[in-house]
Amino acid sequence: MNKNQIMDSGWNRQTIWQGCILASIAHAIFVANNSDFAYEHSWDGDHYSTNDGQGCRGTVSFGLDFFVAGFRNEEFFEETIEANDLLIEAPEKVQKMAVDDTFQYLLDDIEGVVLPIVTTVLWGGDRQSFSSHQYEEMMDRGSNLLEIQASGYEAGLAYWEEYYELTERQLLLLETLYHLKIENPSQAITLSHEDIQVLDTSDMEGIEESITSFDEIDIHWSSDVSN
């Protein structure tokens, strides 16, 4: 399958990574009171997964200078070909990360055989990106899950504020944590007692989900609050 260059400039490694961080912080704030939605965003090391709960899910794996993403839309399940075939024109390092890591989050049992079920893939660096499908079809096949993350900071902030119905104080916390994380990606961040108060929750299950979601991106509740 021929690769297709994605002409939308937002679809690059840096913008997407920053967008995934923004989405994840907003989600971690929201689930403190809404634990049923914990499945929507998660991280496992350098692998970000998202799920709309309506048949679409995907995982983005971030390398030092490239990324690879695999998505699955149940509506295209019958048309799915071998996942590896979707990456036939991708660089070797991309193919290796996809097979070893990304696709491992998209496994399913098909008549007793566990296989990655993927309906579209994309990959690239900080300058250009490519997909196994043309843009519109790529979006239909599941990549729309990453549309907000690829849209830039201002658009993403406005979207998550409305989507999660964040209060003004929660929005300020989101902005503060995001900039701290982006400026020092490897540095752990600890939420203060005042930060925790902004979440405005006494829901124990929500608190546990929020702690987990924050932990996944190395943002931690202070021990005297979380214990």
pLDDT in tens, 33-89: 999 999 999 999 999 999 999 999 999 999 999 999 999 999 987 776 678 888 888
- The two three-digit tokens of residue 97, written as one number: 């990360």
- Dist. CA 201–CA 110, nearest whole Å: 41
What Rg, from alpha-carbon coordinates, does the chain have?
A: 18
- Dist. CA 150–CA 152, nearest whole Å: 6
Three-state DSSP at 81 gives coil
What single-letter DSSP state applies at residue 25? H
β-strand pairing of 107-110 with 67-73: unpaired
Three-state DSSP at 201 gives coil
Residues 106 and 118: beta-carbon distance below 8 Å: yes
Percent of the chain with pLDDT over 70: 96
Average the pLDDT over 123-150 and give the result: 95
Compute, in degrees rounded to 10, the torsion defined by CA atoms 108, 110, 114, 115.
-70
Q: What is the pTM of this model?
A: 0.94
Percent of the chain with pLDDT over 90: 81
Q: Is the pLDDT of residue 227 over 50?
A: no
